[in-house]
Amino acid sequence: MPFGHYRKERHTGQLMKIAFQMDPIQSVDINADSSFRLAEEAQARGHELFFYSPDQLAYDEGRIVAKGHAFTVQRVQGDHVAMEPIEQVDLAEFDVIWLRQDPPFDMHYITSTYLLDRLKGHTLVVNDPFWVRNYPEKLLVLDFPDLTPPTMIAHDLETIKDFKARYGDVILKPLYGNGGAGVFRLDANDRNLTSLHELFMSASREPLIVQQFLPDVSAGDKRVILVDGEPVGAINRVPAAGETRSNLHVGGRPEKIGLSERDLEICARIGPLLKEKGQVFVGIDVIGQFLTEINVTSPTGIQELERFDGVNIAEKIWQAIEAKL
């Protein structure tokens, strides 16, 4: 049966139609990708799945539509997804849409949040696109300056130089980047700031973010997962030898770790806001005693956490979503 012919029922425990707006699912690592794990758990709960890429999202005479594929998943790398023929669907007929494409957080990304906003009252979009648009990962932390390391967001080179002179050892990175790409440590003796600024500005007009370097990163950058504002666990991401970046995408090693009193204090501060703004699945980054990012666009880490702690985080996420319908 074509996907669009199913009439949705908005009752917890019954069949739901779930769409994933994400990067190509055919190429994901099934042992690490959080979107795959969410799809796998949804399928186990009896829900129907639909995939489309962000460039297939469209506004068409009052309707928000997308071209994509009904699909099923299995935990066999290389043969992990089976797709039905392409079809166009009306996204207002779905129960849940996952906004799961990776940054960069550019106008293409932002436009998709404006379009998905128009489904409010018809379809639950996770995470809420209005607040994803207003709370990209490196900006929401600005609401909690007492929890974060000294931070500057600026475009002007002289302004950034002043900040570096103040703290000596800093991290410089693109404001809307992800996965550790374009992250540089500039210590007190470094002479590359001007050249790096030229390089960044030649590629984009966006400001840069500069933070005081935290030596505690050598012991790991903790990823804490929150579900509907509540912490459910954490993994530690340890940088590879000679690296400052701990992101798993660039060679960081995941380790089992518990939640510290400081982690719980941070979560208690930010959790109510995340819940209020419809941010169901969030990953925050904590280095030592400091909050560095709040990831709401496409957080990762649930598969590693499930393996370390023996808990079903994907189930907790779906329980939170089903409770909202």
Catalytic residue among 40, 245, 304, 316: 245
The 3-state secondary structure of 28-95 reads CCCCCCHHHHHHHHHHHCCCEEEEECHHHEEEECCEEEEEEEEEEECCCCCCCEEECCCEEEEHHHCC
Indicate which residue of 137, 223, 247, 316 is catalytic. 223
Residues 228, 234: Cα–Cα separation, whole Å: 15
CA distance linking residue 195 with residue 215, whole number of Å: 24
Task: Tell whether the torsion through CA atoms of 276, 103, 83 and 123 is positive or negative.
Answer: positive
Tell me whether residue 275 is one of the annotated catalytic residues.
no
Catalytic residue chosen out of the listed positions 164, 222, 237, 316: 237
Is residue 138 among the annotated active site residues?
Answer: yes
Q: Which two tokens stand for residue 46?
A: 């009896």
Is 118 one of the annotated active-site residues of the chain? Answer: no
Tokens representing residue 193 in the block: 């700031």
Residue 54 token pair: 């962000």
Catalytic-role residue among 95, 263, 293, 304: 293
In the set 17, 37, 164, 173, the catalytic residue is 173
Q: Which residues does 251 contact at the CB level (< 8 Å), separation at least 6?
A: 239, 240, 243, 245
DSSP states of 247-300: -GGGT-EEEEE---HHHHHHHHHHHHHHHHTT--EEEEEEETTEEEEEE-SS--
Q: How far is residue 188's CA from residue 185's CA, in Å, rounded to a whole number?
A: 10
Of 285, 304, 306, 322, which residue is the catalytic one? Answer: 285
Respond yes or no: is residue 295 known to be catalytic. Answer: yes
Chain-centroid distance, C-alpha 149: 21
Question: Cα–Cα distance between 47 and 44 in angstroms, integer?
Answer: 7
* Active-site residue, selected from the candidate residues 17, 37, 138, 164: 138
Residue 41 is a catalytic residue? no
Looking at 295, 306, 316, 322, which residue is catalytic?
A: 295
Does 245 participate in catalysis according to the annotation?
A: yes
Tokens 């018809």 -> residue: 122
- 309 classed as catalytic: no
Is 293 among the catalytic positions?
yes
- Which residues are tagged catalytic? 138, 173, 223, 237, 245, 285, 293, 295
